Amino acid sequence: MAHPRVREQMAAFGVDVLVLCGENNVAYATGRVARSQEPARAGATRSVAIVTRDDHLVFQPPSLDLDDGARALAAAVADCSGVVAIDEYPSVVAYAALRERAPIDAAPLLSQAKIVKTPDEVERIRAAQRLNENAIDIVRPLATPGARQTDLTAAFFRAIFEFGATGNTVDPIWNIVPPSIDGAGFTLTGHLPFPNPTTDRVLTTGDVMFNDMGIDLEGWASDFGRTWIIEREPDSRQRDQFERWCATCAACERAIRPGSTAADVARAATAANGGARPWFPHLYVAHGIGTESAELPFCGTDLGEEIEDQVVLAQGTILVLEPVIWDDGHGGYRAEEIVVVTADGCERLTDYTYAPYEMSVR
C-alpha cells in the first residue's frame, strides 16, 4: 500500500489514480528510492508509480521520451478507472499519451500529504542529517589555508559514502564570501551571489565561507549549513553577526508551532532583524525538507505574505531555517537549522557546533 497520507489526500482531493513520475514523489509515496544520478540519466531510467486508493504499482518503463515508454505508461494508467492526477509529464509524448484521461495537477495533493512528517520520517531525516554532520566533522579540520574547495568536496564524498549515504544530492558548496557585495560578482538582485559553483579555488587565512551540503539516506534528505572562517577566530563584528543570526533563528523558532503560518516565520525573522529581511532575496528564510532537500512549505519567498499566510504549519512539519545576516562591507553569517514542529512549539534536528563562532543564544 502507498503512503497512508497520500491515500488520505487522494480521497480528500477526489483522485482515484495518482501517476507519479518524479523520483522524489515515487520515493515518498512508495518507498522506492532511486540512485543518485545526473538528471538526464535519472529521468531516462526512472521508475514510475501508479497509486490507486487500495493498491500501487511501481515499474520502470522504457524511456518516457519515446513512444514505447509513453505507450507503456498510458497502458498502465488505462488499467485504472476514475479521476487521474499526475505530478509531472516527463516529455511531450508522455503528455500526449495521457491527454485523453485529462489528468489534474497532483502537486496540491502531494504537498498537503508531505507537509506533515510521520514520527518515523522525522527520525529518518534526523539520521540523514547526523550522517551529514559526521562527515563534516572529518572535513572541518581540512579547511585550512592552501586547501582547495575541491579537496573539501573529496573528503566529504569519501566520508559520506563510508558512513553509508545513499547518495550525494548537490555539488557541495564552499562559498567564500567577500566583505562587500560590490566586487562579489554581478547579481540580478543586487545581493550577494550565492551559491557559486565550486572550483579549485585555494583557501586563504581569514576567508569567510558559507557552506551547504545535502546527502540522501535511503530516500530522505539532509541539509547542512554553517559559516566558517579559515584559520582565524571571529572578530567582535563577526561575533556580533553570529549573535544576531542566533537571535533571528530563535525568533523564528518562537513563531513556529501548530497553527502558525509560513508567513509568520518570515515576519518573525524580519522583526528580529530590525525590520530588514534577513535572507537572500532570491530565496527564502526557511524551506521544508523530506524526500527532497528543499520542498514546500517555503517561508519568505516572492509569493508574498498573503499566499504564505495560507500555508499552515502542523505538528510534524519540518522546516530548515536559513537566515543570512549581512553587514555590507563587513561580510556576514549564514547557517541552517532543521526544526520539527511539536505539539506546542518546535525541536531542533540539527545538532552541530557553530565553531569558530561562539554559542551565545539558544
Partner 1 sequence: MTTDGLARVLEAVARDDIDVLLLGRDGNARFVSGAKRLFLACERAFAPGCVVVRATGAVHLLSVGDAGIPPDIPRARLYPITWNPGALMGVIVAMPGVAGARRIGVDGLTPLFDQLIRAFFADADLIDGEALMREVRRVKTSDEIACIRAAVAVAQAVMDEARVVARSGRSEREVAAVAMEAMARHGVTTAAFEPVVVRVDGTTAIDVGVLRDGWEGGLARTEPGTAAPAEHAAAIARCRAGTPVREVAPGGEVCGVGAGYEVLEPDRELEPGMVVSIATWPVRDLVLVTDATPEVLTTAPYVD
Instruction: Please list every residue from 4 through 23 that binds partner 1, using CB under 8 A.
Output: 22-23
**Which of 78, 158, 202, 276 forms a contact with partner 1 (CB under 8 A)?**
158
**Cβ atoms 117, 340 nearer than 8 A:** yes
For residue 266, give the C-alpha cell. 518570515
CB of 171 to partner 1, least distance (A): 4
User: Other CB atoms closer than 10 Å to residue 108's CB: what's the count?
Assistant: 14
Site for partner 1 in 73-112 (CB under 8 A): 86-93, 95, 103-107
CB 311 within 8 A of CB 265: no
Using CB under 8 A, which residues numbered 308 to 337 contact partner 1? none
Spatial separation of the C-alpha atoms in residues 220 and 14, rounded to whole Å: 28
- Residue range at the interface with partner 1 (CB under 8 A); choices 6-14, 112-120, 161-169, 249-257: 161-169
- Residue 63 Cβ, how far from partner 1 at the closest point, in Å? 5
Residue count at the site for partner 1 (CB under 8 A)? Answer: 71
Which of 71, 127, 157, 277 is in the footprint of partner 1 by CB under 8 A?
157
Binding status of residue 131 toward partner 1 by CB under 8 A: no
Of 3, 10, 18, 24, the one binding partner 1 (CB under 8 A) is 24
Which position among 8, 137, 162, 233 is part of the footprint of partner 1 (CB under 8 A)?
162
C-alpha–C-alpha distance, residues 360 and 95, integer Å: 54
Residue 198's CB: how many other CB atoms inside 10 A?
16
Distance CA 221, CA 219 (A): 7
| H/E segment holding residue 320 | strand 318-321
Helix (H) or strand (E) holding 208: strand 208-213
Measured from the CB atom, is 85 or 246 closer to partner 1? 85
Nearer residue to partner 1 within complex by CB, 79 or 302: 302
Q: How many CB atoms lie within 10 A of CB 232?
A: 14
Q: Which of residues 213-272 bind partner 1 (CB under 8 A)?
A: none
- Name the minimum Å distance from CB 170 to partner 1: 5
Would you say 185 or 259 has its CB closer to partner 1?
Answer: 185
C-alpha 271/C-alpha 268 separation (Å) is: 5
